[in-house]
Structure 1
Amino acid sequence: MKLVVSKISQLAKKIVDQLTGAALPTLYFNPQGEARQMLDVLPQLKQKYRPTPWLSNTHVHLLYFDIIKKKTIQLQYDAIEQLEMADGGITGIAWYGLHLPADIPTIVVMHTLTGTPESMAELVRDLHQHTGWRVALCLRRGHANLPLPVPKISIFGFTDDLREQIKYIEGKFPDSTLYAVGSSAGTGLLVRYLGEEGEQSPFKAAFALCPGYDTEHGFKNVHPFYSKVMTQKLFKSFIYPYNSIWQQTASLSQVLATKSLLEFQHQYFELAGYSSFEAYNQATNPIYVFENIKIPLMILNAEDDPVCHIRNFEPYKDVVQKMPNIMVVTTKKGSHCGFYEGLKQTQSWSARLIADYLKVHHI
C-alpha cells in the first residue's frame, strides 16, 4: 500500500512540475574556472526550481511581486542617511542591521529602476534573515524623494556616486567584509562598477539578479505593456517632482514625448549630464567593461522574464563560458525578480540562492 501511495505521489508531483514549468536550472560557466566549485557547495543548483503553482504565469508572477508583495512587506530600517556627493548632489543609504558587531559582513544592495527603501524591503529583509549580515541599500540620485540640488540623474546610476557611497560604508565599518547585490537596473550599476574596478574591487563576491546585459539594446526586448508603464513611472519619479529643475534642459520636451523605455533612454542623456546618447552609453553601459570583472560573480535570469528578456543574454554565452569567475544561472520560470516558491507562504527562491552564494565566499 505504501508503495502505491508513493508512486501516486511521485506521479502527482511530476504532473504538477509539468504544468508549472518546474525544472532544473541551466548553468553557464567555464568548467576549468573557479565558478565550477559552486556546483559542489550550492545544492539549489542541482535541484528543480518549483514556482508557486498559481504564479506559474509570468505576468501573474510579476504583478504579484510588484503590486502585492511590495505592498505587504513592512520593514523598519535602522536609518536612512543622506550623503552629499563631490559635486553637491545627494544620494542615500538605507541601513538594516546597524546594531550588529562591527566585523559582521555588509551586503551593499543596488536597487531597481525606480527603487526605494519600501520597494526593496523584501530583498533587504530576506538577505538579512538568510545571512545574519548587515545590509546597506544604496539610493541613487532622485530616488526615495531625495533632494536634487544638482540637475543630474541616471536610470542606471553613476559609478562615481557608488564609489563615494562605498567609501562612506568602509569608513563606518572598516572591519566589515563587503559583498554586493544588484537587482534589475541595479545590475547595470553593479557590473559597470565591477568592470571599471577590476582587481581593485572592494567586494569579495557579487550577485546580479535579472540583468539586461547590454543597456543600449536591452530595452528593445521589454514587453510593450511594461515598457509603457515603467516609462510613466520614470516621469513620476524623476521628472514631475523636480519639474522646476529641468526647465533649463533643452531636451525636456523630447524626453516627455517618449512612450517606451528605449525612447526614454535615447532622449534623456542631457538629464544624465552628457552631450549625446553616444557619450552617455560609452560611460554607463556595463557590457563594455564586462570582461574586466575579476571577483566572483553569479548572475540569475528567468527564461520567462518579460522585462529583462532572456534574449539579452544570447550574445554573451560564449564570453561567460570563457571567464573563470562568472556563472550564469537561468530558470525556466521566475518572471522578473520574483522567483517565488511555496504555497501558502510564498518565499523567494532567488534570495536563498543569493544569500548562500555570498556565504560560501565568506568561509
Structure 2
Amino acid sequence: MKEWSLRSVPLVNTSLQQLEAQWVIKPQLYYQRGGYFEDVIPYLPELKSYRPTPWLMNHHAHIVYLDKIRKLQKSIQYDLIETLTMADGGTTAVAWYGLNAPPETPTIVVLHTITGTTASMAELVDELHQYTKWRIALCLRRGHDGLALTVPKINLFGSTEDLTEQLQHIQQKFPESDLYAAGSSAGTGLLVRHLGEQGAATPFKAAFALSPGYNTETGFDLIHSFYSRLMAQKLKEKFLDPYHSVWQKLPVAFDLYQAKNLATFERKYFPLAGYKDYKSYCEATNPIYVFENIKIPLMILNAEDDPICHIQNLMPYKNTILGMPNLMVITTRYGSHCGFYEGLTQPKSWAHRLMSSFFMHHQHQQKDVFEKYNVMRTDIKKPA
C-alpha cells in the first residue's frame, strides 16, 4: 500500500515547497576566488543555509524581539569589570566573561553597539562563550554603561587609541591567549577602523563584523526614519542628559538636543569627540578610508532586510571586497539588524553560531592554511 502524506496532495505539496523555499535561505557569499575563504567555506556548515524564525521574518518584529524580549530575558553575571584609565585621563572598561579559563585559551574581544552596555551585549557574550568555551572581553567605550566621563570626550564609534590601550591591557593580563574580534553594528566601525589602521600589526588573528554600515558619512541617510528618530532620542538620553554639566558650555549641545534624527545628530556632535570640524572627524574615524589595508581574515554579515544598516551601504564597496583575498561578505534575505534568529519556539542567533564556528576553525587551521595566503603574521610578539 502506498504511503500517504500531505505531500501526496498536489496543492498542499506546492504550498509546502513554497513555504520551505521562503523559510530556508541560502546565504549569498561574496569573496575572492582562490583567496583564503575558499578553503574555509566547506568547513562552516552554517553557510549552507539559514532558517529564519517564521514569525520573525518581518524585520521590525525581528528588532522588537531582539531589543524588547531577548535583551530583557538574557542576564549574565560577568566575572569582573575592570575600569581603565586612558592616557589622557579618560575612562573605559573591560568586562570579562569566562575569566577563569586556562591562560592559553583564546580571547574574543567584543566591540559593542552605539549605546551598548554589559546588559545589552549579554546574549552575544554568553553565546560566544557557550559555543567556543573561550574567554570573552567586552570593551566598553567612554560614557557607556554609567562610566564616569572623566574627560569631556565621547565618540559614537569609539576611539582606536582607546581600543589599543584596552588591547594592551588584555594582552598583558593573558599574554598566552590568541585574540579574536567581534564587532556588532556601530562596533564594526571601530573594528574595521582599527584593522585598517593597524594592518598586519593588529593583535587579532581573525575578526567578524555583524551588521556593519560601511561608510559612516552616508549610511545614516538610509536608516529607516522611525529608527533614526528613535536612536537620536536614545543618544540624548544616554550621552547628553547624564553629562549635561559637562556639555552645557559647548554651543553645539543645544543643536544636538534639537536633532530630530540620527544623521543630523552624527553630523553635529563632532566637538564632543574632540574634533574641530566634521571633515577632520570623518577622516579620523570613518572605517571606509582604511578598510583596504585590512590584512587579517574578516568575515562580514549583512541582512538584505536590515532597516538600520541598509544593504545599499555595501554596494559601492562590493567589487573592492571581491578583490581582497582575506575578506568575505555574507548576505541573507532575512535577519534584520544584528538578529538572524532561527528556531520556532526558542529562537537563537544563527549569526552567533556562525562567528563561533569561524573563529574555532581559524584557531584550529591557522598554522596550515594561513601561510598559503600570507595573511597570518608570525613575527608579532606579545607584550611581556
TM-score, length basis structure 2: 0.92
1:300 alignment partner, SS class: strand
Listed as ranges, the matches of 1:153-232 within 5 Å are 153-232=154-233
Listed as ranges, the matches of 1:1-363 within 5 Å are 4-5=4-5, 7=7, 13-20=16-23, 22-47=24-49, 49-363=50-364
The CA distance in 1 between the partners of 2:17 and 2:53, in whole Å, is: 15
Tell me the number of residue pairs that the alignment of Structure 1 and Structure 2 aligns: 361
CA RMSD, aligned part only?
A: 1.4
The CA distance in 2 between the partners of 1:286 and 1:313, in whole Å, is: 13
Unaligned runs of 5+ in 1: none
Work out the percentage of aligned pairs sharing the same amino acid: 56
2:156 alignment partner, SS class: coil
Instruction: Please tell me the residue identity of whatever aligns with 1:90.
Output: T
Instruction: Please tell me the residue identity of whatever aligns with 1:356.
Output: S
Alpha-carbon contact 1:116-1:139 (below 8 Å) kept: yes
- Residues 54/217 of structure 1: CA separation in 2 closer, same or farther (3 Å cut): same
Q: State the Cα distance separating 1:254 from its structure 2 match.
A: 1.2
The CA distance in 2 between the partners of 1:111 and 1:337, in whole Å, is: 11
The CA distance in 2 between the partners of 1:12 and 1:356, in whole Å, is: 34
Deviates most, 136-145 or 250-259: 250-259
CA deviation map 1:305-330 (0-9, x unaligned): 00000010000110010000000000
Instruction: Please tell me the residue identity of whatever aligns with 1:5.
Output: S
Alpha-carbon contact 1:184-1:209 (below 8 Å) kept: yes
Q: Which residue of 1 aligns with 2:373?
A: none
Q: State the Cα distance separating 1:13 from its structure 2 match.
A: 4.7
2:139 alignment partner, SS class: strand
Q: State the Cα distance separating 1:345 from its structure 2 match.
A: 1.3
Instruction: Please tell me the residue identity of whatever aligns with 1:187.
Output: T
Unaligned runs of 5+ in 2: 365-384
Instruction: Please tell me the residue identity of whatever aligns with 2:5.
Output: V
TM-score, length basis structure 1: 0.97
The CA distance in 1 between the partners of 2:272 and 2:349, in whole Å, is: 35
The CA distance in 2 between the partners of 1:24 and 1:229, in whole Å, is: 32
1:329 alignment partner, SS class: strand
The CA distance in 2 between the partners of 1:245 and 1:10, in whole Å, is: 65
Q: State the Cα distance separating 1:55 from its structure 2 match.
A: 0.5
The CA distance in 2 between the partners of 1:2 and 1:361, in whole Å, is: 49
Q: State the Cα distance separating 1:18 from its structure 2 match.
A: 4.2
2:314 alignment partner, SS class: helix
1:357 alignment partner, SS class: helix
- Residues 331/87 of structure 1: CA separation in 2 closer, same or farther (3 Å cut): same
1:212 alignment partner, SS class: coil
Alpha-carbon contact 1:17-1:50 (below 8 Å) kept: no
- Residues 40/257 of structure 1: CA separation in 2 closer, same or farther (3 Å cut): same
Q: Which residue of 1 aligns with 2:375?
A: none
- Residues 362/235 of structure 1: CA separation in 2 closer, same or farther (3 Å cut): same
The CA distance in 1 between the partners of 2:41 and 2:247, in whole Å, is: 50
Instruction: Please tell me the residue identity of whatever aligns with 1:123.
Output: L
Alpha-carbon contact 1:110-1:138 (below 8 Å) kept: yes
Q: State the Cα distance separating 1:16 from its structure 2 match.
A: 2.4
Alpha-carbon contact 1:131-1:359 (below 8 Å) kept: yes
The CA distance in 2 between the partners of 1:15 and 1:59, in whole Å, is: 23
Deviates most, 7-16 or 50-59: 7-16
Instruction: Please tell me the residue identity of whatever aligns with 2:109.
Output: V
Instruction: Please tell me the residue identity of whatever aligns with 1:46.
Output: K
Deviates most, 178-187 or 10-19: 10-19
Q: Which has the larger radius of gyration?
A: 2
2:115 alignment partner, SS class: coil
Q: State the Cα distance separating 1:255 from its structure 2 match.
A: 1.4
